[in-house]
Each structure stands twice: as C-alpha cells, then as structure tokens.
Structure 1
Amino acid sequence: MEDMDRAEGSVPEPGEDKQEAPLPLPPAFLEFLSENGLDPAVYSTAATIPRYIRLKPGMESQIAEIEGELKCGLEKVSWLPGFYTIPPQVQIAGTKAYQQGKIYGIDAASGAAILALDVRPGDHVLDLCAAPGAKLCMLADMLGSTGSLTGVDVAKHRLSACRTMLQKYSLGDRTRLFVADGTSFSILPVNSNLRRMEGLTDLEENGSTFSEWTSRRTWKDRQKAKKANATGSQHLLAPSEPELIYYGKHSGLVGLRKSDVLCPAVNDETCTSGYDKVLVDAECTHDGSIKHIQKFEFWGWKTLDRRVLDAERTDNLLQLQVPFSSSPWFIVETGGHLYNTCSMTVAQNENVVQQFLSTQPSADLRKIGLANTWPCRSGGIPKTLRFDPVTSQTSGLFVAKFSKLPT
C-alpha cells in the first residue's frame, strides 16, 4: 500500500482558492461505496482534516525556525510523539526544512500503525510494499543505530524514490531495498547469513562479495533501464528473483558473499533467523485516502475508474491480499506482524484477517495497548482498529496486529 502523502506541487490543493463544497462523486464510485456500506458524505470532510508532518528526531530545537519558513505554527499532536499539524493549504516542498530532511509528510494514522508495530532497538524489520517511503523512514528512525531494515516493493521506480528519501534523511545506513514480489519474498535478515558463514576465514575465495554500495550504475544496468523505458514497463513488474537496489554501509552486507545474502530461506532456518517485526502494508483500493480521492476531481474521474473501480483490478486485489498478508509469515519470528490498508471496506480488512487466521493456526491476534489513548474505534473484529476522518481527523486506515505462537 502507498502512503497517500500529497506529492508537493503536483496538483492544486482542493479548496485553496474557494470555499469547499461536497465532492461531486461519480455514479460508479457511489455504487462502489453503496456496495461496501460506506457513507459518501465522508469525502466532503477532506478540508477539515489537518495536514500532518513528522519532525525528524533531534530537530525539536529548530521548531521556531521551521515555523518561520512555513509561515504557520506547528501544533503538536498530543497522542502521537513527533507529529505536528499544519493548515492543509501549506506547501512544504519549497522550504529548507523539507529539503534538508527535517520534516516530511505522513498521515497520523500511518504513524500510529508504525508505533503499533512496537519496534525495539536491535530488531530486524521487514517493510513490504515500502514505497513511497514515509513509513520506511519512520521505521529507520525508530531503529536508530541498531538492528536492520529491509524494504520491499514490486515497482523499481517507486522503490528508487524510497532510496532517495532514505539518503535525503540520512536514514539508510542500516537499510537494504529489494525490488521483489511481496507475496513470495523469502530472503532472511542479515543476522541469519552471519550464522551460516561462521568458520569462513577468506570470503573472497568463496564467491563474489558485497563492496560498499555506490549510486553509479553499470553500463548493463543503464541499458536495461533504457529498454524498460522504451517498452513502457517502467519496472512495474518484479524481476523473477529479488533485485537488491540499495544497501547502507552499516546494513551488514559489506564483505558478505552475495550467494549467501540473496538465497531464499529454508524452513529450518526461519525458527531462529527470521524477522522480528513485519509491516504488511497491503495494496488496496485506497478508498480511505480521503484527500487522494478528492484529487480525482482534477485528475479526471476516468482515472478513478481505472485505479479504484475496475472490477478486474479489485478482484485481483482481493485474491492478492490474503496470500500477501500470510506470505512473510514463515520468515517471522515470534514478534509483531502488522497488516494494514487504507481501504475502509470490510472485504479488504476484516475478511482478510479472518481468512488469515483460519489458515495460520500459529497466528495470534493481539490487542494494541497504545490504542487506549488514540482517537480511533474498534474494527469489526475485536482487537483490530479503524481510523477515519470523523473519529480520528485522519485518513481511513485499518490496523490488525498479530504475533506468532511458539511451535
């Protein structure tokens, strides 16, 4: 799933130049909402939802300076550490604070989902469907100088944007990024590879090893990119095998054999070598991204039909979400596993959770204790959460957290 943070300057912000009116939603979308029991009135609340930004840790002393650049005050979000609200019409892309990586846009509901994962120092974390990268950055912030972070996305150009974001915010030292299909990704974190390589004294004699990462592409890679652009593929399809496009200098890969790092996991390894925490940010119809839906008035409602309402695409999403939610399960240790979407439909949320639980007897649905202080409501299944514009003053988001029972 993509965090639907607004691309700065890409489209005019609805309501900037005139009083906001109820959005004239097209009949096909109204039918979609009716079929899923959703109230179309929620899409007229976009102008009342504040814009959220996250302040990079350590930048608190510069708040006054940032406020001067933005020409507005930063209102602290009481229930979410490090988050602030600014007026919806404020643009941040042209400010030094944004360009220097001191602030970035991320919806408060998305920030809450990351907190629910309960990342601890030293954890090995997997972020599936990582683009465009705001959640990935927050995860890297929480890990600090310990553990590791692995980001996966099926679209290479989108994951390349994540790479740029990590470098901009100086958060990529312990991160590696794979272009891969999240439903079949099975590469273990670096800690497992170190265990497998115990006893090796000369890595160079045992195959090709990773040197420090560089942004310079080989001639072969440039030719592949040129060919993809010419055919219009834009790397939207994952390679047959995961492709590593970035690794930080402290990600643990430098000096390791490529054959060890890039080989898929086998079942007996995952009991002790899997990821501590996994974020399954599932691809969905994005109907809960209120401000994003509102932009289709400018982009054209036919684009909405193609991206959200196309029956074949919706059916494919529903068929994808259950295996997508469970595919990384066997490479998870006993730690947290979080499933979330920005859809407000039951079909893409509660139904997926129920199917997942029915197929994974070792999965235990967990209560999110932090939610006791959050402005959200319970989902249709106990222990799950729903954020929405009316209750939460955020975009719509569904969150379910699991742990893996010892076997």
Structure 2
Amino acid sequence: MDSDDEYTPEESGVQKTQGTPLQTFSLENLPTEFVSFLSKNEIDPAIYTVTDLPRYVRLNPDPHLTITPQDLEMELGTKVEPVPGLEAFCRLSGHIKLRNTKAYIEGRIFGMDLSSGIAVYALDVQPGEHVLDICCAPGAKLCMIAGLLTNSGHVRSDRSRASNALQMDITGTVTGVDISPHRLSTCRSLLKRHRLQQCARLFQADGTTFGVMRPSAIDTIRARIMAGNKSNNTSSAGNGSAGKRSLDRESYQNEGSSSDESMDQDGGPGLEVRQQFHSNYTQKGESSIKRQRATLERLSGFSGHTDREEEATIFNGTETEGSHEKLVPFFAPKTLRNDPQHRSEAYKYDKVIVDAECTHDGSIAHILKYESWGWDNFHKNFMSQNRLDSLMDLQRGLLMNGFRLTKAGGIIVYSTCSLSRAQNEDVIAWFLTKMHGRAVLEPLPKHALGIPTANCKRPCRSIIADALGLQQSGPGNANGIVGWHGTPEQETEMIQFQDHIMDKCLRYDPLASNTSGFFLARIRKIS
C-alpha cells in the first residue's frame, strides 16, 4: 500500500485525507484497543489533537507549464512557501482545495505530500538506473521516479513538428508492483496523463513473491541509440539531441496514451540535496559498515547461531534460468511489453523502494474518518491482533523481497506512514539481524530540509534476540512479551545496535514536525 493515497485525491479520485481536518475529537473518544496500541508503540495520543497541518504540492518544472510560488500564491489567495532542499515542493494551508483551480487543471501543480518526496530523494535516482517500486499504487512516487530517470527530468513534447512526436531520453526504467488492480488503474492513468509511460511498466502481483527482474529489452534499445548517435555525431553535437530518440505517438496508441496536453517534468534534485542523500563508499562509510557488521556478528555469536549460508542462498543466489512462465504486465509500453524477463543477478534492480502497507496511524485525517465511519470498522481493519501480526509479517516479507531483487551495492528505501515502532524500527532491526552485515543502514539528512524531525524509537530487544535465535529470559511484561537479558558485554552490544538504528532512521510526526507521521530507512545491499 502506497501512502500516496493520503495526498493525491485530486489525481486518484479518492477521498481527501491529507491536509488539516476541519474537526478533531476528544481523546476520550478513542477506542480502548487503539489506546492500547498507541501505548504499546510509544505514540503520544496528543498528535490527534493537531488541527493546523499544512498540505504540500509539487510545482511542475516543465518550462511550458511552470508556475512560480508567487504566481500560485496570487491564484490561490493563500501563502505558498517553498520547502528548502526539496526542489519544486511547496507548503500551503491544509484547508485549500486544489481540484478546481486553474493551476491544477492546467497541470502546473500536483498533489504530493512531503513524505513521498523525501522517500524518492532518498533513493538518489540517477539517469540510466532501473528502479523497482513495491506497493506502487496510486503512483505519485512512481511518476516522480519516472521523470528523474531521464537526463532532463521529463519527456519533452515537440509541438512544432507535424508528427507531434515525443522526445525521450532512453536511460532507465521504473517497474511498479501492487496487488490491487483498481489502484494500479489509477497508477496507469497518472503515468499516461503526465506522459511518463514510455519508461514505466506495472505488474499486479504480491510484493512478497514478485520475481520479475528489471527489463533487459531496454539494453538493445540503448545500444541501437548509441550506435545511431555515433553515426550522427556531427548533427547531434549541433542540436544537442545526443542520446535521445523520437517516438511517434502512434507507437503508444495501444497503451491508451492520454489526450491531455499537460506534461510532467519532474526535474532532478539540486546538487546540494543530491549530495546530502547520496552516500558513496567513503572512508567514513566503510568504517560505519565495518562497525555495524562487527556488532551484528558479535550479537549473533552470543548463541553460537548463524545462518549466513542459508540466507545467502535464499537472497543472493542466481535464480533458475531456463523454462519459466512470464508474468504478463498489467501495463507496459511496446518497448517493454515483450521483455524476455531474464532471471539472473545481472538483471537485478539498482534501486528499490518499499512503501509498505501499514495501519496509517500517522495520518490524523485518516484516523478522524472513523468518527463518522464507526470505530468497529477501525478495529476490524487495523486493530485486531491477528491483523497486526499479519501486517508485520507482510512488511518483513516486502522488505526481504526488495532486498532479494536489488543488486549488490544497490539501495533499498523502506517507508511507512505509521508511527508504530513495531512496523518501523522493529522491522528494520529484524531485517538487519537476518542479514548479518550484508545490508547496512545509511544516514539520512535529519534537519537538512529545515523541518524538525521526531525522535526514533528504540527497537524491541526481544525482536532482535528472537531474529538471532538468542534465548529469551526474564519475566513477561504486561503484554506477555518475554524480555531478553545477557551479560554486561552482551547488553552493551545490544544497546549499541539499538542506538545505531535510532540514529540512522528518520521520523516525522504532527507534533514535532507539523507534518503527517512517517518513517524512513535507507539500506545499502553489501552482498
């Protein structure tokens, strides 16, 4: 489940939930099960009394459709403030409705919340890369990624030519996966509306078992283009079109190309922000990796238990070549539709984003809806223990499969719109202990965007111990969970590991950040 559905109602047709709710309720109205959930996950119930959250929009940087914050401010009649460090993002009053505004109708602005923008920037998408978006619908992040995959950040329309062709930089692809066909339809519509479908494909599948590697057909196309560029080097140098390919609009008729004339130019992040999010193998980074790997190995050694060989087989082995059934795309352009779907390490993805299904408790407006919908529905949908247990299993499965499909050295971003420790820090702690140093956290730029961050939560000790196969000890707590206690040396290692997760991950919440609640972790696959 992509948290984009909280702030793209104008594009997806769903009920508006992002922005400031016009009403709140007494904390006494919260159901007992939810209060218990908040207490167990160390969530302050006071976040649901916040009534002045802003909403966020993304300005379209296309030179034909650009609009300045000042012009948008004059049109909407409300203050519009650029978000420092997040190119093209602006904040405005949460009460503002955009659907019928001229700027929205003309495609000059897009409804997209801050959390989605930060998650995409954390990927540090570069032209030529292949990106996998697990739980991609309804598609705001997918569209932003698609734009970043071209050299200029968008696909240009040459309106002066009789063929009305699209100029495309063939550099990389984005693959979106979601289990809901209805939500995938919304995702497809967004791609078409913003003319980004030529480098994107969609699959309806379970994100925990999806196994289609990045498209190999694009390699043949790129080689053909590069060969053409060499033979036309003189003319290319003159008109600046090196590396570009004209695609006649007719080649996309079968994909249902939209008649909407608006184009999406997502634009790349500024150099400073890209440097903030991008982490190379510097001496400091290597030292951090070595320290984390050593800590994990020492933790694992407490019980004499290691499953390094088993994990390497499951998550890093080459998938069987030969006879296999191809998964038919839910949507793909002609250039990607008939991809042979090769299965080997060579075709794993450069970057993977896992915006996992969660309880959505970080969205005030989402929780407030149950005042009118009924708390019985809320309990059935989110608070039953069976539902919570299955949800955490799903989140672990999504992250593990994202890791499996990422090439060595690649990046995985894990995010939720929950404030629950169990769905965030505990998932990351469990995952890292399973990886035994083959996946490490990378730092995120806290406060770099001028927005205060919330404190991350200390991962559950018993989760870490259980993942490592360490013996549990001590009396159970009020929730019946048995704790873990070790020697003084073991306790020190455990605390250091917990501190490491708290330091590297990122949290925003309504009270500390004046945003919706969300969690973010950036992981590098070492091997």
TM-score by length of 2: 0.62
Paired residue for 1:191, among 216, 232, 236? 216
The residue aligned with 1:360 is: 435
The residue aligned with 2:276 is: none
| Contact residue 54 and residue 93 of structure 2 kept, 8 A | yes
Alignment of 1:324-403 (within 5 A): 324-333=398-407, 334-361=409-436, 362-369=438-445, 372-373=448-449, 374-379=451-456, 380=458, 381=501, 382-403=503-524
* DSSP 3-state at the match of 1:185: coil
Q: Cα 1:241–1:321, aligned 2, differ >3 Å: closer, same or farther? A: farther
Runs of 5+ consecutive residues of structure 1 not aligned to the other structure: 199-210, 217-239
Q: C-alpha distance in 2, partners of 1:346/1:336?
A: 23
Q: Describe the superposition over 1:123-148 as per-residue Cα deviations: whole angstroms up to 9, x where unpaired.
A: 11110001111111221222234311
Alignment of 1:103-122 (within 5 A): 103-122=109-128
Paired amino acid for 2:36: E
Paired residue for 2:336, among 250, 253, 278? 253
Q: C-alpha distance in 2, partners of 1:310/1:358?
A: 28
Q: C-alpha distance in 2, partners of 1:278/1:63?
A: 32
Are 2:200 and 1:125 equivalent residues in the alignment?
no
Paired residue for 1:273, among 334, 341, 347? 347
Paired residue for 1:28, among 17, 27, 33? 33
Paired residue for 2:383, among 298, 309, 321? 309
The residue aligned with 2:267 is: none
Paired amino acid for 2:329: L
The residue aligned with 2:265 is: none
Paired amino acid for 1:188: M
Are 2:107 and 1:101 equivalent residues in the alignment?
yes
Q: C-alpha distance in 2, partners of 1:25/1:324?
A: 30
Residue 398 of structure 1, CA deviation: 1.0
Deviates more, 1:370-379 or 1:340-349: 370-379
| Contact residue 396 and residue 431 of structure 2 kept, 8 A | yes
Q: C-alpha distance in 2, partners of 1:33/1:376?
A: 19
Deviates more, 1:63-72 or 1:387-396: 63-72
Q: Cα 1:104–1:184, aligned 2, differ >3 Å: closer, same or farther? A: same
| Contact residue 21 and residue 365 of structure 2 kept, 8 A | no
Q: Cα 1:340–1:359, aligned 2, differ >3 Å: closer, same or farther? A: same
Q: C-alpha distance in 1, partners of 2:384/2:75?
A: 42
Residue 273 of structure 1, CA deviation: 2.1
Q: Cα 1:358–1:389, aligned 2, differ >3 Å: closer, same or farther? A: same
| Contact residue 69 and residue 81 of structure 2 kept, 8 A | no
The residue aligned with 1:230 is: none
Paired amino acid for 2:523: F
The residue aligned with 2:371 is: 297
Q: C-alpha distance in 2, partners of 1:308/1:75?
A: 35
Q: C-alpha distance in 2, partners of 1:151/1:62?
A: 31
* DSSP 3-state at the match of 1:246: coil
Residue 6 of structure 1, CA deviation: 5.9
Q: How many residues align?
A: 358
The residue aligned with 1:176 is: 201
Residue 372 of structure 1, CA deviation: 4.0
Are 2:156 and 1:80 equivalent residues in the alignment?
no
| Contact residue 211 and residue 405 of structure 2 kept, 8 A | yes
Residue 171 of structure 1, CA deviation: 2.3
The residue aligned with 2:266 is: none
| Contact residue 184 and residue 328 of structure 1 kept, 8 A | no
Larger radius of gyration: 2
Residue 316 of structure 1, CA deviation: 0.7
* DSSP 3-state at the match of 1:279: strand
Residue 344 of structure 1, CA deviation: 0.8
Paired residue for 1:214, among 238, 251, 254? 254
Q: Cα 1:304–1:133, aligned 2, differ >3 Å: closer, same or farther? A: same
| Contact residue 180 and residue 204 of structure 2 kept, 8 A | yes
Note the aligned Cα RMSD (angstroms). Answer: 2.9
The residue aligned with 2:230 is: none
| Contact residue 77 and residue 84 of structure 1 kept, 8 A | yes
Q: C-alpha distance in 1, partners of 2:188/2:67?
A: 27
Runs of 5+ consecutive residues of structure 2 not aligned to the other structure: 154-168, 224-250, 257-324, 459-500
The residue aligned with 2:58 is: 54
Q: C-alpha distance in 2, partners of 1:27/1:302?
A: 11
TM-score by length of 1: 0.79
Paired amino acid for 1:310: S
Q: Describe the superposition over 1:285-324 as per-residue Cα deviations: whole angstroms up to 9, x where unpaired.
A: 1111222212222333222222221322211101111121
Deviates more, 1:360-369 or 1:275-284: 360-369
Paired amino acid for 1:50: P
Q: Cα 1:151–1:5, aligned 2, differ >3 Å: closer, same or farther? A: same
The residue aligned with 1:283 is: 357
Q: C-alpha distance in 1, partners of 2:376/2:111?
A: 27
Q: Cα 1:106–1:7, aligned 2, differ >3 Å: closer, same or farther? A: same
